Amino acid sequence: MTTPDAAAAAERGLLEIRGLVKRFGGVTAVNALDMTVRAGDVHALIGPNGSGKTTTLNVISGLYRADGGSVAFDGHELAGRPAHAIAALGIGRTFQNIRLFGELSVLENVMIGRHVRTKTGFLGALFPGGATAREERATRDRARELLAFVRLDAARSQTARSLPYGDQRRVEIARALAAEPRLLLLDEPAAGMNPAETDALVVLLRRIRELGTTLLLIEHDMNLVMTVSDRITVLNFGQHIAEGGPAEVARNPDVITAYLGGTLDAA
Amino acid sequence: MNRRVLALIVLIVAVALIPAVVHSDYILTLCVTAGIYAIVVMGLGILLGFTGQMSLAQAAFFGIGAYTSGWLTTHLGWPVWPAMACAMAMSALVALAVGYPCLRLSGHYLALATIGFGIIAQLVLINWKDVTNGSDGMTGIPAPVIGPWTFEHYNSYFYIVLVAVLACAYVAWRIKTTRVGRALEAIRENEIAARATGIDATRYKIIAFVFAGAYAGLAGSLLAHTTKFLSPDSYSFDQSVVFLVMLIVGGSSSIGGAILGAVLLEFLPEVLRPLKSSYIMVYGAAVVVMIIFMPRGLVGLFESLRARWRRGAPPPLGAAAAAEAEAA
Amino acid sequence: MMHFDPVANLQLLVSGLAIGSIYALVALGFVLIYNAVGVVNFAQGEFVMFPAYIAATFALPAVAVFGGVVHWQLPLIAVYLLVIVLMVGFGLLFNRIAYYPLRDRGWLPVVISTIGVSIFLRNLVQLTWGSQPLVLPPLFPVDTIAVGALHIRPQDLAIIGVTALLIAFQYVLFERTTLGKQMRATAQDRTTARLIGIRVGRIVAITFVYSALLGTVSGLLVAPLFTVTKEMGALIALKAFAASIVGGFGSIPGAIIGGLTIGVIETFGGFYVSSAYVDAIAFVILIGVLLVRPSGLFGERVAEKA
- The DSSP annotation for A166-191 comes to HHHHHHHHHHHHHT--SEEEEESTTT
Q: Which of B102, B107, B244 sits opposite C115 (nearest CB)?
A: B244
Of A107-116, C76-85, C277-286, the range with the highest mean pLDDT is: A107-116
Of A104-118, B17-31, B132-146, C242-256, the range with the highest mean pLDDT is: A104-118
Which of chain C's residues have a Cβ under 8 Å away from the Cβ of A63? 304, 306
- Say yes or no to pLDDT of A263 above 60: no
Which chain B residue shows the shortest CA-CA distance from A181?
B197
Which of chain A's residues have a Cβ under 8 Å away from the Cβ of C303? 24, 64
Closest CA to B241 of B91, B93, B44, B42: B44
Contacts of B4 (CB under 8 A, 6+ apart): none
Map out the domains of chain B as residue ranges: 27-236
Residue C34: band (very low, low, confident or very high) from pLDDT cuts 50, 70, 90: confident
Estimate to the nearest angstrom the gap between the alpha carbon of C68 and the chain centroid: 31
Q: How many CB atoms lie within 10 A of CB B271?
A: 10
Contacts of C56 (CB under 8 A, 6+ apart): C63, C134, C136, C223, C228
Kindly report the nearest CA distance between residue C199 and chain B, in angstroms: 24
Residue C300: band (very low, low, confident or very high) from pLDDT cuts 50, 70, 90: low
How does pLDDT run across B190-235, given as a tens digit for each residue? 999 999 999 999 999 999 999 999 999 999 999 999 988 899 988 9
Q: Chain C neighbours among A 46-75 (CB < 8 Å)?
A: 54, 57-58, 61, 63-64
pLDDT greater at residue C142 or residue A77: A77
CATH architecture of C6-292: Orthogonal Bundle (1.10)
B201/A84 CB distance under 8 A? yes
How does pLDDT run across B131-166, given as a tens digit for each residue? 888 888 888 888 888 877 788 888 788 899 999 999
Instruction: Output the average pLDDT for chain B.
Output: 85
How does pLDDT run across C113-145, given as a tens digit for each residue? 898 899 889 888 888 888 888 888 777 777 777
Chains that touch C (3 or more CB pairs under 8 A): A, B
Residues A177, A182, A188, A193, CA torsion sign: positive
This prediction has a pTM of: 0.86
Whole-number pLDDT of residue B328: 43
Q: How many CB atoms lie within 10 A of CB C8?
A: 14
Which of chain A's residues have a Cβ under 8 Å away from the Cβ of B171? 126
C292 touches chain A (CB under 8 A): no
CA–CA distance, C11 with C271 (Å, rounded to integer): 11
B105/C294 CB distance under 8 A? yes
Between the CA of residue C246 and those of A123, C14, C68, C255, C264, what are the distances in Å? 39, 21, 45, 8, 14
Closest CA to A118 of A145, A75, A87: A87
- Say yes or no to pLDDT of A5 above 80: no
C306/A63 CB distance under 8 A? yes
Q: How many CB atoms lie within 10 A of CB B149?
A: 10
- Say yes or no to pLDDT of B284 above 80: no
Whole-number pLDDT of residue A178: 94
- Say yes or no to pLDDT of A267 above 70: no
CB A107 within 8 A of CB A150: no
B190/A102 CB distance under 8 A? yes
Predicted complex ipTM: 0.88
Residue B327: band (very low, low, confident or very high) from pLDDT cuts 50, 70, 90: very low
Residue B287: band (very low, low, confident or very high) from pLDDT cuts 50, 70, 90: confident
Alpha helices in B107-236, H assignment, sequence order: 107-127, 129-132, 154-176, 179-189, 191-196, 201-227
Map out the domains of chain C as residue ranges: 6-292
- Say yes or no to pLDDT of C148 above 60: yes
- Say yes or no to pLDDT of A265 above 70: no
Of A173-187, C6-20, C32-46, C139-153, the range with the highest mean pLDDT is: A173-187
Q: Which of A24, A25, A54 sits opposite C306 (nearest CB)?
A: A54
Q: What are phi and psi of A187, to 5 degrees?
A: -100, 105
Closest CA to C30 of C246, C181, C244, C254: C244
Q: What is the dihedral of CA C156, C161, C163, C166, to 10 degrees?
A: -160
CA–CA distance, A108 with A18 (Å, rounded to integer): 37
Q: Stretch C213-225: mean pLDDT, rounded?
A: 90
- Report the percent of chain C where pLDDT is more than 70: 96
